[in-house]
Structures are given as structure tokens and as C-alpha cells.
Amino acid sequence: VQLQASGGGLVQPGGSLRLSCAAPGVTLGYYDIGWFRQAPGKEREGVSCSGGSDGSKYYADSVKGRFTISRDNAKSTVYLQMNSLKPEDTAVYYCAADYGICHNSAIIPSDYEYWGQGTQVTVSS
């Protein structure tokens, strides 16, 4: 499974960005998709995940109420809408896929097998 993350950029605090995770030619509905981020000098952390079979959605406490995950299975794309961005959201964002692992807000990088390249999000004035 090849994943392509895009949509990062530079945004001012309080602004919004929408990240996309595309999987061309893949039946994305079979997979759970997770979004992760890694800031310089920090470990990669889970941000959100979307269940492929049951439509479940979970978020880390740090982004709850500000970020929204959604998917368009017909386009084989999962989105992460990020609103009210803060400087501490600055990181490289990654998407990842695997089967049957999006069960709660404990979104753990090592649980996911398939990874896309990252996209940089910088929140700064």
C-alpha cells in the first residue's frame, strides 16, 4: 500500500490547513488510517485515526475539537482538517494504514505497517 501525504505549509496561529492522504488504486475502505506527527527532537505521536470498516474516529487530546478526520473511499483519500492551529502543532505529519487497529485514542505508530512520506506543517506568525 503506497500512501501520499500532502497539503502541508506555513500558516499563522489560528489558521487552518487540510492534509490529504491518497492511496491511488487501493480500496481504502479496507484499511484503518492514522495520522501522526513528529516535531524536531520529539517522538512521533498519534493525532487521529479513522476506522475503515466501522467509520470510527478517534483523536489525541491535544487536537480534539480542532482537528477532524474524514475519508472519501471513492477517491481513496483520507483528510485531516486542522483548525485553530497553534505553534505547537508544528511538525512533519504522516499518514499510515493497517487493518483493524483504530479502536481508541491510543494511536500508536508501531501498530501501523504502511506509511506515506511526511508533509511539513509550520504554524508561525
E strand map for 28-90: 32-38, 45-50, 57-59, 67-72, 77-82
The pLDDT mean for the chain works out to 95
CB contact at 8 A, 107 and 49: yes
Nearest-angstrom CA–CA distance, 11 and 102: 29
Please classify residue 41 by burial: count the beta carbons closer than 10 Å to its beta carbon, then call 0-12 exposed, 13-18 middle and 19+ buried: exposed
Q: Is the pLDDT of residue 1 over 90?
A: no
pLDDT value for 55: 86
Nearest-angstrom CA–CA distance, 101 and 76: 19
pLDDT value for 73: 86
pLDDT value for 40: 93
The confidence band for 114, taking pLDDT boundaries of 50, 70 and 90, is very high
